[in-house]
Amino acid sequence: MEVLVAHHGYCFDGATTAAIFTRFLRETAPGLARAEYSYKGLLYEPNAPPPGDKLRAGAVNAVLDYRYTTSPLLEWYFDHHVSAFQEKGSEAHFRADASGKKFHDGAYGSCTKLLIDVARERFGWTAPDLDELVRWSDIIDAARFPDADVASSFDPPAMAIAAVISEQGDDHLCGQIIPLLATKPLAAVAAHPLIAQRLGPIKLRHDALAKRMGESGEQRGDVAWFDLSDAPLDTVAKFVGYKLFPSAQYSVVLSRNPKRVKISVGFNPWAKRPRGHNVAALCERYGGGGHPVVGAISLPPHEMARARTAVDEIIAALNA
């Protein structure tokens, strides 16, 4: 029997949810202890096909930390994205499900925490050796860092692993990292050559990006705004903007790579005033999505003009 684990790619929460789900299924599902588990990353890309298209007949299929699908092939589902129900009729389909294997809760900061809570409460399954993994995934996915410096550090093992997954993750690499996350302490995973050998160049690119953001950034009202569209962006630095503009309530970053133009929108986790806007709802207006505090819009690479219009409108909306 094969188990196909389709997870949000390529981010720490998607990978850790896949790792814990693997343990959960191996240790609770009859006949799946020795099954072959394969991993497929699902991206929030422009015109991304419904995840049901990626599922395989004859396998046990799971979709984790990603949009719901009405596909009859879907057996297990866990997600916490408030934008999970984009496929037509999908929310009603989910509500009507009686399998007891499909779970969504938009109040969760990470899918990892949703999974571990559901596994304990509904299935009586626990894995205390994974506590550290759960704790870090919840910190990283919900941006619950004490400050922008910690948020930009690669020193904690989880942060090093998260950086490698988000910057160089693909199905081949995640297919090797996920089984490690499922069975080894974070420090051991971070010390593994898969992570350690990739981290040096990532740090260098991160420092270069921080410099570029310092040069191009400006604050418009409550919004720190970074136009990084002049050259392709090959790395991400989600929190550097708030290091540069600590008084900003929100940040907006325009970037591009050969595959897409991206607008990233976020609420400053260390803002002194409460959040007045739902970032996911704002991104949905332009076909994007995410969470109340962080979201993104991806457009085809030739739509830079439309992206710039959207950026102006989003900054105006966040200042309203």
Interface residue list for Mn ion (CB under 5 A): 13, 65, 111, 141
**C-beta of 280: minimal distance to Mn ion in Å?**
12
Looking at the Cβ atoms of 3 and 82, the one nearer to Mn ion is 82
Residue nearest to Mn ion (CB): 13
**C-beta of 16: minimal distance to Mn ion in Å?**
9
Looking at the Cβ atoms of 65 and 222, the one nearer to Mn ion is 65
Dist CA 64 CA 21 (whole Å): 9
Looking at the Cβ atoms of 17 and 235, the one nearer to Mn ion is 17
Dist CA 25 CA 29 (whole Å): 5
CA 90-94-99 angle, 5° bins: 145
**C-beta of 142: minimal distance to Mn ion in Å?**
9
Is 3 within 8 Å of 165 (Cβ atoms)? no
Strand positions, DSSP E, 80-192:
102-104
**C-beta of 156: minimal distance to Mn ion in Å?**
18
Looking at the Cβ atoms of 265 and 307, the one nearer to Mn ion is 265
Looking at the Cβ atoms of 81 and 277, the one nearer to Mn ion is 81
Other CB atoms within 10 Å distance of the CB of residue 97: 15
Determine the residue type at 92: A
Q: Which residue has the tokens 């907006």?
A: 252
**C-beta of 108: minimal distance to Mn ion in Å?**
8
Determine the residue type at 163: A
> What are the CA-CA distances from residue 91 to residues 189, 294, 312 (Å)?
37, 22, 32
Dist CA 18 CA 7 (whole Å): 6
